[in-house]
Amino acid sequence: MVTGRRLSVALLVNDLRMGGAERQLVELAKGLDKTRFRVLVVTLYSGQPLEEELRDADGVTLISLERGGKYDFRTALRLASLLRREHVDIVQPFLTPATFFGLVAALLARTPVKIATERCGLRLNTHLGNRAYRFAEDRLTRFADAVVPNSEAGREYILSRGIPDRNVRVVYNGVSPDRADVAPGEAEAVREALGVGPEGKLAGIVASLQPAKDHETFLQAAAIVRRSLPEARFAIVGDGPLREQLEQRSRELGLDSCTTFTGPQLRVAPYIAAFDVAVLSSCDHEGCSNFLLEAMALGRPLVATDVGGNRELFTSGGAGLLVPPGEPKAMAAAVVDVLQHADAAARMSRESLATFGARFTLGGMVRAYEELYLELWEQKSASRGDQPVAEPVRGPGTPGRRL
């Protein structure tokens, strides 16, 4: 039997494009215990593909504020009105400028619990508009009850901006089992479509085609790998503003016959499962990479740059190899090492699966957020005399989940 009432949680984001932070928000919204939490997902803009996953999700309401362009600051007032009307108890924005609008609106609406999130472990390059929002967000974050990065590198980045350590809680990303679900024959079909023969090897990356992911280094490394392994092929899964430039660069490096740009894919698991090695070439903005976690869930050996939170996900020599950012020769050497040594690759594959199962499941991430929500709510409600939080519904013989 349910006692008390459910807490109302508003998760705010710019839009629901196919990005890492957006994916994590969607999984969190769907995964929260609906006997304890009523979930609103609020976007500044509508019309992006991940919305479809929430339209029919149990216990989740999807709302768009339909912001009227980058100079529409009335969005904060509309959001504050929404928070009051929906009696929101907890607001948690993701990304800039959603964090700015979310925290301003929560202060205006006197929302009891305010949680900021940080999805990056470092930010070396940001444009002027982003820096302006970040300046404002840093000051607003001082009014937040907690700040949640998804890596220890993210924690250090937050502290470097003057946020008190006592308010920071690290919650690593989690991956839904659906993201690692591959039907029999799917990976083989991908390899065939990409022209990978029986003796061929496939190195691949899944990442937005934008500067922080540094596909240039991936392509230069691919050209070096081909000198040692002429049968090697390469896959770049994703889309972004640099696609045309990177396709041209691939041709310049003589890779057009062995490199495939697949474009955006709603289901990336069959592609990752087809990789002999999963490669991440990021030089910036990396906190807790969804791609690396999904590759671990599928038991892929890894080669990744040692930036942001990547080193927290696996140890070099364990599930894969870490290399310096922006160094194609080092990346190529690591890729060749994995592709040429089957026994080491098999050991890395086992280590990937074990590490994922122990540390990065979706259930673990959702429980961490639920515990944080309840802890912060209890702190706030003690002096407010609010109703107790609902206990979970338990069927006959079903144990309750302890939070």
pTM, two decimals, is 0.90
Model confidence over 314-370: pLDDT tens digits? 999 999 999 999 999 999 999 999 999 999 999 999 999 999 999 999 999 999 999
- Candidates 340, 341, 330; CA nearest to 221 is 330
* Cβ burial, residue 96 (10 Å; 0-12/13-18/19+): buried
Token reading at 166: 């006592």
- Candidates 289, 319, 288; CA nearest to 302 is 319
Residue type, 17: R
Model confidence over 172-215: pLDDT tens digits? 999 999 999 999 999 999 999 999 988 899 999 999 999 999 99
Q: Fold for 7-174+361-381, please state it.
A: Rossmann fold (3.40.50)
* Cβ burial, residue 388 (10 Å; 0-12/13-18/19+): exposed
User: CATH number of 177-359: 3.40.50.2000, 3.50.40.10, 3.20.20.140, 3.90.550.10?
Assistant: 3.40.50.2000
Whether residue 184 has a cis bond before it, omega within 30° of 0: no
Domain locations in the chain as residue ranges: 7-174+361-381, 177-359
CA angle (150 as vertex; 173, 297 as ends), nearest 5? 25
Query: Is 7-174+361-381's fold the same as 177-359's?
Result: yes
pLDDT at 394 exceeding the cut of 50: no
| Residues counted in the chain | 403
pLDDT at 388: 60
* Cβ burial, residue 368 (10 Å; 0-12/13-18/19+): middle
